Amino acid sequence: MARIELVNVGHAYGGAANAGTETRWALRPMTMTWRDGGAYALLGPSGCGKTTLLNLISGLLTPTQGRILFDGKDITQLGPRERNIAQVFQFPVLYDTMTVFDNLAFPLRNRGWKEAAVRTRVGEVAELLDLAADLKRRARGLPPDAQQKISLGRGLVRTDVAAVLLDEPLTVIDPHLKWLLRRKLKQIHQQLKVSLIYVTHDQVEALTFAEEVVVMNHGEVLQVGTPQALYEAPEHTFVGHFIGSPGMNFLPCKLGANEARMGDVTLPMDAEWLARAAAAGTEHQLGFRPDAAEVLAAPVASTAGAAWQPARVQSFQPMGTHSLLQLGFGGGSVWVRAAAAFQPAGDYVWLRPLPGKLALFADQRLVPRSATEASIAPHASTPEAGAAP
C-alpha cells in the first residue's frame, strides 16, 4: 500500500493545447495527498472529472501537467501494470468457466506465486468475503452479488498493490443487498488497511464508504472532508446542495456592517465575519440546512422581534417521520424540516434560522466564521428565542 500524492495535476483531453482556457480542463490543476491505508471516495455528477482523476491514478491517462507520487516515488510516466494498482469495475470481471478458487488465484499465479502460498492467501480472502463455501463452484452460476465479490476478491488478493480502485462497484447489486456489500467493504478496509479509492455519483455510497470524500464538479475539486464535515460545514455552495436531502438552502444577500439582508428579511450578524465576506467576493449567499431552523405555526407574543420572521407556506408535506415545508422567505424559497406533528395554521408560519448554524458564502465559497461564535451569542439568547415552545 502507498501514500498517493498529486502535485499540481491537471488534465485536458487533447493535450496541452487545450489546457489554456479554464473551461477546457477535464480536471483542473490540483494538489492533494491521500494517506496510506485510507478509504476515499470521489463523488460528483456525471462529467465532473472523477473518472478522469481515477484514470490518472491508475495510469490509463497521463496528466497534461503535474506529477503523481506513490510513497514519494514519481510514477507519472508509468503505465497501469507498472503502478501496481488493482481495479474493480461496475460489472463483474471474472473468468466464467473457472472456479471461484481459480478466479481468486489468477492474479497470484500470474505473478509466479508458489501454489502453497496461493492456497493460503486465497483462503484468507475467501474467508473475508464469505466465499469460502463457494470456492469449488464455477463463477458462472453464481448470483451477481457473489460475482461482484469475486471481482473484489481478485482486487484484494494481491498483497503488494499500491491501492485498490473501485469504479461504481455496486451498480449491479440488488438494492436490498447493497448494505451488506457496503458493510463488507468497510470490514475489509478495517481488517486489511488497504488504500481504497471509490468512484461514485451516489451520495449514499460515498458517505457510507469513505473516511474522506472528494466532492467534484465541472472538473474541480470543491472539498475534501469527512461526511460530517461535508454536511455540517460545506466549503462550496455546490457541496451544500449536493450533500443532504433536501440540500442546503441558499439566499442571495446584501451585506451591511452588522447585518445581512435577504429580500425583506434582515438578520443581525457578526461585523468581523461580514467584513471578511465582503472582502472575499462580490456575490453573497446565506446558507442554512433544512434542519437548522425553528418553525412555529402561529405567532407568539414575542415574535415581533428580529429573530422570528413570517414565511409564506408554498408547500407542506407530512413525511410520517417528520414534515417538510417549502417556504417563501428572504426573497427566495427555502426547505425546512419540522416535527412530524407540525401543522401550519394558515398561509404563514414563523421561521427562525438558528444563528449558530448559518453559513455565509462569497462567490459560492464558504467564508469561515473564524472563532467568533461568542459574538453572535446575544442573538441566540434573545427573549424571542426563549419563547419557542
Partner 1 sequence: MSATPHPAALALKLEGVEQRVGAAIHLYPLNLELVPGQLNVLLGATLAGKTSLLRLMAGLDAPTAGRIHEGSRGAWRDVTGLPVRQRDLAMVYQQFINYPSLSVRENIASPLRLRGVAKGELEQRVATIAEQLRLTPFLDRRPAELSGGQQQRTALARALAKDAGLLLLDEPLVNLDYKLREELRAELLQLLRVRNTTVVYATTEPQEALQLGGNVVVMEAGRVVQSGPTLQVFSRPASLAAARAFSDPPLNVLPARFDGTRGIATLANGAANGLASGLSGGLEVALSPAAVAAVRATGVNEFLLALRPHQLHSEPGGCRSLTLQGTVELAEISGSDTYLHVHTAGGDVVAQWRGIHPLSLGSRAHLFLDPREFFGFTCEGAALFAPTAAAGET
What's the CA gap between 114 and 108, in Å, rounded? 9
Is 362 in contact with 277 (CB distance < 8 Å)? Answer: yes
In eight-state DSSP terms, residue 123 is: H
Of the ranges 1-9, 23-31, 136-144, 178-186, which one interacts with partner 1 (CB under 8 A)?
178-186
Residue found by looking up cell 469513505 in the block: 210
The nearest distance, CB 320 to partner 1, in angstroms, is 5
The DSSP result for 192-215, as a single string, is: H---EEEEES-HHHHHHH-SEEEE
Among 63, 225, 244, 330, binds partner 1 (CB under 8 A): 244
Among 21, 110, 190, 282, binds partner 1 (CB under 8 A): 190
For the chain, give percent helix, strand, coil, nearest 5: 30, 30, 40
Task: Give the three cell numbers for residue 303.
Answer: 415574535
Q: Does 187 bind partner 1 (CB under 8 A)?
A: yes
Residue found by looking up cell 449558530 in the block: 356
The nearest distance, CB 312 to partner 1, in angstroms, is 14
Torsional class of 370: left (φ above 0), alpha (ψ -120 to 50), beta (otherwise): left
Q: Which is nearer to partner 1, 56 or 224 (CB)?
A: 224
Among 29, 95, 99, 202, binds partner 1 (CB under 8 A): 202
Q: Does 389 bind partner 1 (CB under 8 A)?
A: no
Q: Which residues partner with 86 through β-bridges?
A: 164
Among 36, 259, 291, 294, binds partner 1 (CB under 8 A): 291
Task: Give the three cell numbers for residue 44.
Answer: 460528483
- Fill in the per-residue mask, 30 to 69: x = in contact with partner 1 (CB under 8 A), - = not in contact: ---------------x------------------------
Q: Which is nearer to partner 1, 339 or 377 (CB)?
A: 339
Task: Give the three cell numbers for residue 119.
Answer: 492456497
The nearest distance, CB 277 to partner 1, in angstroms, is 26
The nearest distance, CB 231 to partner 1, in angstroms, is 5
Residue type, 91: F
Q: Using CB under 8 A, which residues numbered 205 to 224 contact partner 1? A: 207-208
Is 49 in contact with 219 (CB distance < 8 Å)? Answer: yes
- For 206-322, strand residue ranges (E) read 212-217, 220-225, 249-255, 259-262, 265-268, 284-288, 293-296, 309-318
334 to 170, 270, 366: CA distances (angstroms): 33, 23, 19
Among 66, 80, 123, 246, binds partner 1 (CB under 8 A): 246
Q: Using CB under 8 A, which residues numbered 224 to 243 contact partner 1? A: 226-228, 231-232, 241-242
Q: Which residues partner with 6 through β-bridges?
A: 32, 68
Of the ranges 51-59, 65-73, 333-341, 356-364, which one interacts with partner 1 (CB under 8 A)?
333-341
Q: How many chain residues touch partner 1 (CB under 8 A)?
A: 40
Among 290, 344, 353, 355, binds partner 1 (CB under 8 A): 290
Among 3, 24, 137, 182, binds partner 1 (CB under 8 A): 182
Q: Which residues partner with 65 through β-bridges?
A: 10
Binding site for partner 1 (CB under 8 A): 45, 179, 182-183, 186-187, 190, 201-204, 207-208, 226-228, 231-232, 241-242, 244-247, 289-291, 315, 317-322, 324, 326, 337, 339-341
